[in-house]
C-alpha cells in the first residue's frame, strides 16, 4: 500500500520512522512476550529499553547520545514538530503500551531540559517528570484560568537561600523508566512556577512505588516526596517561565 504524507512529512520520512519503530518492536519487544507471562517477562524489559537509547529512539538530555535530537520528544521537535515522535510511539504502543509509556515519559522530561539550553550541575541520561499533585495535573487550572489560578494551586515549593533551593512537597503518579538518575520537578517559587533538576540520590527524597496494578506494568509508577531537599542554585532549569515548555508538546 502506498505511503501517504503526514503533516508536512514526505512519504519516505513517514516510512522511515515507522520502519525504525517496527524493527525495534520486532527485535526487542516481541521477545518479552514469549512464554507464559501475564504481561510479558518484565525482567527482560530494562535491557530492551537500553537498546532504545543505543539506536536513538529514546530521547535523553545528554547531547552526546544519539537520541538527543530525533528520539521520542527529542530537541528536533522544535524544527520537525511532534509527528515523528508520535509515529514512533504509536507503532511501539501496538506491541507494548507500557514500553511506549516509558519512552514517552523519558522524552517529555528530556525535552524540558533540552529546551532550557542551560548548563546544569550534572547531565543525567534517564529522567522522570515530577509534575502531578493528587489526581489532577496542576497546570490544568492555568490553562483554564491563567490569571486567576497561576501558579495553578501547585503546592510543592522551592525556597531560595544564598546558594541553594530547599524543595518541599509531594508529587503523584510519576511514570518513568527503571533506574532514573534525576527528576525534573515543577515547584512554586513565590507566586510563580519554577523548574528544577534534582538528583534521585539527594537526601530526604522518599520514593513510594505504586505496587501491582493493571495496565502499563512495564512502566515504573511512583509517588515522590521531597522533605527539605537541598539542591544547588544552579539546579534551577528555567528562566522564569517553564510553562511554555510543557505546552509545547
- For residue 29, the 8-state DSSP code is I
Based on the fold, state whether residues 22 and 60 are members of the same structural domain. Answer: yes
Q: Decide if pLDDT at 137 tops 80.
A: no
CB atoms within 10 A of CB 121: 13
Does 138 share its domain with 34?
Answer: no
Q: Is 194 a member of any domain? A: yes
Q: How confident is the model at residue 222 (pLDDT cuts 50, 70, 90)?
A: very high
Could you tell me if residue 2 is inside a domain? no
Do 161 and 232 meet the contact criterion of CB atoms below 8 Å apart? no
More confident residue, 235 or 240: 235
Q: Do 131 and 41 share a structural domain?
A: no
**Among 55-69, 101-115, 130-144, 166-180, which is the least confidently predicted range?**
130-144
- Bigger pLDDT: 245 vs 204: 204
**Residues spanned by the domain of 134:** 127-248
**Is residue 6, in this structure, part of any structural domain at all?**
no
Is residue 95 domain-shared with residue 199, that is, in the same domain? no
The residue among 116, 148, 172 that closes a domain is 116
Does 105 score more than 80 pLDDT? yes
Q: Are residues 138 and 233 in the same domain?
A: yes
Q: How many domains does the chain have?
A: 2
CATH of the domain at 225: 2.40.110.10
131's enclosing H/E stretch is none
The per-residue pLDDT of the chain, averaged, comes to 85
CB 249 within 8 A of CB 77: yes
Amino acid at each position: 500500500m502506498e505511503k501517504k504524507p503526514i503533516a508536512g512529512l514526505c512519504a519516505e520520512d513517514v516510512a522511515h520512522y515507522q520502519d525504525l519503530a517496527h524493527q525495534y518492536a520486532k527485535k526487542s519487544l516481541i521477545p518479552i512476550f514469549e512464554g507464559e507471562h501475564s504481561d510479558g517477562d518484565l525482567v527482560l524489559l530494562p535491557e530492551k529499553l537500553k537498546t532504545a537509547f543505543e539506536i536513538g529512539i529514546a530521547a535523553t538530555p545528554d547531547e552526546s547520545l544519539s537520541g538527543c535530537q530525533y528520539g521520542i520528544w527529542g530537541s528536533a521537535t522544535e524544527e520537525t514538530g511532534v509527528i515523528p515522535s508520535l509515529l514512533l510511539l504509536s507503532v511501539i504502543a501496538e506491541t507494548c503500551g507500557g514500553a511506549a509509556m516509558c519512552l514517552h515519559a523519558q522524552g517529555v522530561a528530556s525535552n524540558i531540559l533540552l529546551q532550557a539550553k542551560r548548563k546544569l550541575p550534572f547531565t543525567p541520561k534517564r529522567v522522570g517528570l515530577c509534575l502531578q499533585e493528587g489526581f489532577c495535573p496542576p497546570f490544568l487550572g492555568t490553562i483554564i484560568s491563567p490569571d486567576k489560578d497561576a501558579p495553578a494551586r501547585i503546592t510543592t515549593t522551592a525556597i531560595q537561600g544564598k546558594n541553594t533551593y530547599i524543595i518541599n512537597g509531594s508529587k503523584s503518579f510519576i511514570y518513568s523508566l527503571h533506574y532514573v538518575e534525576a527528576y525534573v520537578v515543577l515547584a512554586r517559587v513565590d507566586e510563580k512556577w519554577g523548574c528544577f533538576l534534582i538528583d534521585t540520590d539527594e537526601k530526604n527524597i522518599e520514593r513510594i512505588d505504586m505496587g501491582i496494578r493493571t495496565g502499563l506494568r512495564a512502566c515504573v509508577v511512583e509517588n515522590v516526596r521531597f522533605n527539605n531537599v537541598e539542591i544547588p542554585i544552579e539546579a534551577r532549569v528555567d528562566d522564569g517561565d517553564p510553562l511554555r515548555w510543557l505546552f509545547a508538546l
